[in-house]
Chain A
Amino acid sequence: MGVLNPLYSFLLLLTLPIVALYLLRPRSHKKVVVSTFLWKKALNANDVERLDKRLIKNWLFYLQLAIIIIGALLLMQPFMNQVQVTSDDLVIIIDTSASMSTQIDEATRLDVAKESAVALLKGLSGSPTLSVYSLDDTLTLRYKGHTVSKATQGIVAIQQTEKKDSAQAFEQFVKAYTLTENEGGIYVFTDHPYIVDSKVTYYLSTFGENTIGISSGSYRRGETEDYLQIGLENYSSQAISGELMLYGDDELIQIISVETEEQGGQLVKIATGKFASAYEVKWSGRDDYLLDNSYYIGIQPQKINRVLLAGQSNRFLEEALMILPNTEVYKTESLAIDEDYDLYVYNGVLADELPASGSYLIINPTRSTSYLSIGDVYERGILSFEEGDSIWHHVNTAFNVREVRSIESFIGKTLMSIDDQSVVVKGKIGNHPALVVGFDLLNSDFPVRVGFPVFMHNAASYLVGNLSQDIMAGTVGEPLMIHGNPKALTRYLLTTSGDKIKLDGAYELSVLMDKSGHYVVVENDEKGLVESRLLSMNISKAESENVLVDENGQRDIHRSESLGHYSLKPFIAAFMILLLLIEWWVYYRGY
């Protein structure tokens, strides 16, 4: 179950006054009477001290709490996903990097990690899809299937390497896993504290108290110098400046300032004092595994798009913006903007005067301004799309909107309309590219659709220019092509169900990857594994659509039959009404 509008969770705070009111409520009046003999008989008072009787006395209190919680849930618009999960998915990742050979008593960290992973498999119930990976500078698949014994063999066969572990490989894997619809979890046995901002549940096992290592690094290019952020383990902030060495373009540079986080100092922020094309941070302290103690940060000069999100909070919108490549997202509650951004996103609000620079994405404008005119509100009608436009490229437009506002199309081209009135318009306001969306995203299921981040990517590409991609990532919405490793003699695709599909040459894998989940492309030569690549697919399914399309390809925006996910609002509202009736009955009966 999920919620479309987590903002309203703040309403749960209303339970606090209720609790306070009950705590501070006036106490019962004390009254001395001739005899309580008859009252005891009347109220069966022999039982008044029983716990259930006490609970009954507080029924009103519990009911009021329940009503508030349910009301808040109602406004949070919960929905139940009907997409069937085919199987649970359990991923085991074992760190084989150099630091894992550190001795713990009589065994190495790797031995302990493997032993823990095998113990985990022994305690497993059901038959989930098991994936075993080893992690050093790359993530290598060791086993995938449903057989516990084979997975155990895969774990036992994992060998120690002298390589450095890769936080980037790990993070990419976890983020890719996030996109799948699999249920389960990732168990990571490592000695590095990986921190990944992910919705996936992953379990981290670390070993040893004396771990020395630089686990991660990132940079931000300032106006006069670079700023690095280095993840360290188990070092006090006092020791850092003396033992941390920073090389910029292979020259030792002086660290002019170090800022550590409170409590442990695991994240170190360094102002470099210069610009360099690459940095390397090294640890000069005593450690047997120096390979773990340096971190290379290559500076890739590229345009970073600064996006400012103004107006109402919308988690889906924020997340869609956050995953745009080379993009920094900022939020503001104020419409008085004193910095320049590449893209201004107005959600539910509208400035009287738009900033002089950048481009504009205006979502759900509720009033007219000098540069934008709002027309009628439609609660029912047929939506039409300009499907050929790049904005809708790879976007499945089968989404549901409950209410739309028409936009005067003098801005430019109409992309979506109702009764010949524009709803989504792209064009220019002044000389600035602009896209106007005439409905509240929270009043539709569009944000929870697979196509939404694609739409946002297309919109951002139109508004700020083409977004450059990381080398290893595909373009959102584009067919996924894979080119085989020339050294490999055989290659196959390991599907979500564990089947192997033989591949030959370059393939558009999206044709083969017809189910959501993660896939692995495995390439072998005569000696064995050459390369394995993890691919994740999140596919919109026809049966998950909740908008019915007629034979003319048109769709009713007000049709609420839900095939993919259904709103829990009516059920919760009915339950809330039931609780109110019970509360009235309890009060009437005088419990």
Chain B
Amino acid sequence: MLNAEVLKQLARYKIDHTEGFLSNYEGERKSNQKGQSQEFSDFRPYYLGDDIRLIDWNAYARTDEYYVKVYEEEREARITIVLDHSASMGFSESKRKLAENLVFIFAYVGLSSGDSVRLVTRSEKGQVIASPFYRGLHQYAFFQKTLDVLKWQGTDGFEFLTKEVQFTKGVTIWISDFLYDHMSEIHGQLKYKKQHVLGIQTLTEEILSPTYEGMLDLYDCESQEKIEVHCTPSALKAYHESLASHLEHVEHLFSKYGDRYLLLNVEMHDAAQVLQKLLTHSILR
């Protein structure tokens, strides 16, 4: 839950890099399309078939020519927040808190800037479920209620995301730790559905810089799979090389399509800090 001060700040921002991905629905975002909003754009000569109500009679009086006024059309960005709420994302309080704050921030910014926002998660049985697109700040409470009842369990299950959820041109904010191999397939599916993808990876300090020693039986919190690790300096070195390689792979995956990617350490889960980070990286503007 975001406090009033943060909410007040959020009202000033919009999600960046969404211009190319506006939907056909009317909204509050300026588009390149001309339409019927109150925002004046230009004059053009009158042609047969134009609505005569659009003729500027003052211009006609001055020039003795028929001109019509052209207005900018305002459209909305359709924002889908895909939240990985598997057991690994809820493994620690701070990691869970960070994911929740990200959802709240993007939902609030989206709703307050006139975009429509929806949340895509998974049911307890593993099916992907999506809320309707919400518009207006009065719908913000939905996100709070949803996250309140959400159980952080199971494995991530977005392999067939675009088959199970309808997508129209828009923006997808994908919040996950991305500790799996099939993310490139999911990302490919989203690109096929004309989504501008904003990937936000949340990792714990334990993943980023493990301080294990001795012989360990490591159990995966999702699959319960066991792996025996003798934590010697050489093993830790191999792990860090593996981590760097994976992070590079993830970043490359987003950057090659012009998508945005941001890595967040869950130690910094406070909403104000998160907001600052998003502003620093121009995710919000």
Are A and B a genuine interacting pair, yes or no?
yes
Bound: A41/B218 CA distance, A = 14
A590 to B229, CA, bound (A): 9
For A34, list chain B residues within 8 Å (CB).
88, 91-92, 95, 177, 179, 204, 206-207, 221
B-facing residues in A209-247 (Cβ within 8 Å): none
In the complex, the answer to whether B218 meets A33 with C-beta atoms within 8 Å is yes
Complex contact B228–A31 (CB within 8 A): no
CA separation between A466 and B225, bound complex, in Å? Answer: 82
Residue contact A37 to B234, C-beta cutoff 8 Å: no
B239 x A40 contact (CB < 8 A): no
Which among A42-50, A345-353, A453-461 touches the partner chain?
A42-50
- Please tell me if the beta carbons of B246 and A41 are within 8 angstroms of each other in the complex: yes
| Interfacial chain B residues near A45, Cβ < 8 Å | 227
A30: nearest chain-B partner, CB-CB: B217
Contact status A38-B227, CB under 8 Å: no
Q: Which of these, A35, A587, A589, contacts B88 with CB under 8 Å?
A: A35
Whether A39 and B234, one on each chain, are in contact in the complex, defined by CB atoms closer than 8 angstroms, is no
Contact, CB under 8 Å: B214 / A36 = no
Interface membership of B70, Cβ < 8 A: no
List B contacts of A587 (CB < 8 A).
Answer: 232
Q: Does chain A have a CB within 8 A of B243?
A: yes
**A38 and B206: CB pair below 8 A?**
no
- Least Cβ–Cβ distance between A12 and chain B, in angstroms: 28
Within 8 A of A (CB), among B206-249: 206-207, 212, 214-222, 225, 227-235, 238-239, 241-243, 245-246
CB interface residues, A 360-398, toward B, < 8 Å: none
Contact B234 A589, beta carbon cutoff 8 Å: yes
Please tell me if B180 contacts chain A, counting CB pairs below 8 Å: yes
Q: Are B207 and A42 in contact (CB under 8 A)?
A: no
Using CB atoms, name the residue of chain B closest to A54: B228
Query: Is A356 an interface residue when CB atoms closer than 8 A count as contact?
Result: no
Min Cβ gap A583→B in Å is 14
- Cβ of B214: which chain A residues have Cβ within 8 Å of it? 28-29
When the two chains form their complex, are residues A35 and B230 in contact, meaning their CB atoms are under 8 A apart? no
Measured in the bound complex, the distance between the Cα atoms of B139 and A465 in whole Å is 121
**Given A31-B216, A38-B243, are A43 and B229 neighbors across the interface (CB < 8 Å)?**
yes
Q: List B residues 129-169 near A (Cβ within 8 Å).
A: none
Give the residues in chain B near A28, CB-CB below 8 Å: 214-217, 228
Q: Report whether A40 and B227 are in contact in the complex, using a CB–CB cutoff of 8 Å.
A: yes
Of the candidates B88, B204, B238, the one whose C-beta lies within 8 Å of that of A43 is B238
Q: Which of A1-35 contact B (CB under 8 A)?
A: 27-35
Chain A stretch 39-66: residues in CB contact (< 8 A) with chain B? 39-43, 45, 48, 57
Instruction: State whether the Cβ of A571 lies closer than 8 Å to any Cβ in chain B.
Output: no
Q: Could you say which of B88, B180, B227, B233 contacts A39, with CB atoms under 8 Å apart?
A: B227
Whole-angstrom CA separation of A508 from B165 in the bound complex: 111
**Would A35 and B228 count as touching, CB distance under 8 A?**
no
Question: A45 vs B95: C-alpha distance in the bound complex, in angstroms?
Answer: 26
Q: What does the 1/0 interface line of B71-85 toward A look like (CB < 8 Å)?
A: 000000000000000
In the complex, A45 Cα to B221 Cα: how many Å?
Answer: 17
| CB closest residue in chain A, given B241 | A42
Minimum distance in angstroms from B181 CB to a CB of chain A:
8
Q: B219 and A31: CB pair below 8 A?
A: yes
Q: Name the CB-closest residue of A to B247.
A: A38
A29-B214, A42-B239 are contacts. A35–B227 as well, Cβ < 8 Å?
no
User: Inside 8 A of B231's CB, which chain A residues have their CB?
Assistant: 590
Bound-complex Cα distance A32 to B226 (A): 9
Complex contacts, B177 vs chain A, CB 8 Å: 34-35
A38 touches B207 (CB 8 A): yes
Q: Are A43 and B235 in contact (CB under 8 A)?
A: yes
Q: What B residues does A588 contact at CB under 8 A?
A: 232, 234
Give A587 to B232 CA distance when docked, in angstroms.
9
Q: Given A43-B238, A590-B233 in contact, is the A38-B219 Cβ separation under 8 Å? A: no
Q: Judging by beta carbons under 8 Å apart, are A35 and B221 in contact? A: yes
Rounded to whole angstroms, the CA-CA distance of A39 and B226 in the bound complex is 11
Tell me which residues across on chain B come within 8 A of A31, comparing CB atoms.
212, 216-219
**A residues in contact with B241, CB < 8 Å:** 42
Q: Which residues of B contact A36 (CB under 8 A)?
A: 218-220, 225, 227
Q: Residue B179 contacts which of A29, A35, A43, A48 (CB distance < 8 angstroms)?
A: A35
Given the complex, which residues of A lie within 8 Å of B242, measured CB to CB? 38-39, 41-42
Q: Is the CB of B179 within 8 A of A39?
A: no
**Residue of B88, B220, B229, B246 with most chain A CB atoms under a 10 A cut-off:** B229
Q: What chain B residues lie within 8 Å of A43 (beta carbons)?
A: 227, 229, 235, 238-239
Q: Which residues of B contact A29 (CB under 8 A)?
A: 214-217
Instruction: Give complex CA distance A337, B115 in Å.
Output: 109
A43 to B241, CA, bound (A): 11
A45 to B92 CA separation, bound complex (whole angstroms): 25
Quick check: A32 and B221 within 8 Å, CB to CB? Answer: yes
**Which residues in B have their C-beta under 8 angstroms from that of A33?**
206, 218-221
Q: Which residue of B lies closest to A33 (CB)?
A: B218
Interface 0/1 of A471-488, CB less than 8 Å to B: 000000000000000000
* Chain A residues with CB below 8 A from B219, complex form: 30-33, 36
Residues of B within 8 Å of A27, CB to CB, are 217
- How distant is A385 from chain B, measured CB to nearest CB, in Å? 61
Q: Mark A572-591, 1 if CB is under 8 A from B, else 0.
A: 00000000000000011111
Q: Which residues of the partner chain A approach B212 to less than 8 Å between Cβ atoms?
A: 31
Measured between beta carbons, the chain A residues less than 8 angstroms from B181 are 37
Interface centre among B207, B228, B239 (most CB of A within 10 A): B228
Which one, A37, A41, A590, contacts B230 given CB within 8 A? A590
Residues of A near B180 (CB, < 8 A) are 37
B228 touches A589 (CB 8 A): no
A27-B214 Cα distance, complex, nearest whole Å: 11
| Given known A34-B179, A589-B234, A590-B234, contact A39–B215 (CB-CB < 8 A) | no
Residues of A participating in the B interface, judged by any CB pair closer than 8 Å: 27-43, 45, 48, 57, 587-591
Known: A29-B215, A29-B216, A38-B207. 18 other contacts (CB 8 A): A28-B216, A29-B214, A30-B217, A32-B219, A33-B218, A34-B92, A34-B177, A34-B204, A35-B177, A38-B179, A38-B239, A39-B227, A40-B227, A45-B227, A588-B232, A590-B232, A590-B233, A590-B234
Q: Give me 24 A-to-B residue pairs in the complex whose CB atoms sit less than 8 angstroms apart, sorted by A's number.
A: A27-B217, A28-B214, A28-B216, A30-B216, A31-B216, A32-B219, A33-B219, A34-B92, A35-B88, A35-B221, A36-B218, A38-B207, A38-B243, A38-B246, A39-B239, A39-B242, A42-B242, A43-B235, A48-B228, A57-B230, A588-B232, A589-B232, A590-B231, A590-B232
For the complex of A and B, list the 8 residue pairs with the smallest distance between their C-beta atoms, beginning with the closest: A590-B232, A42-B242, A28-B215, A35-B179, A42-B239, A42-B238, A41-B242, A36-B220
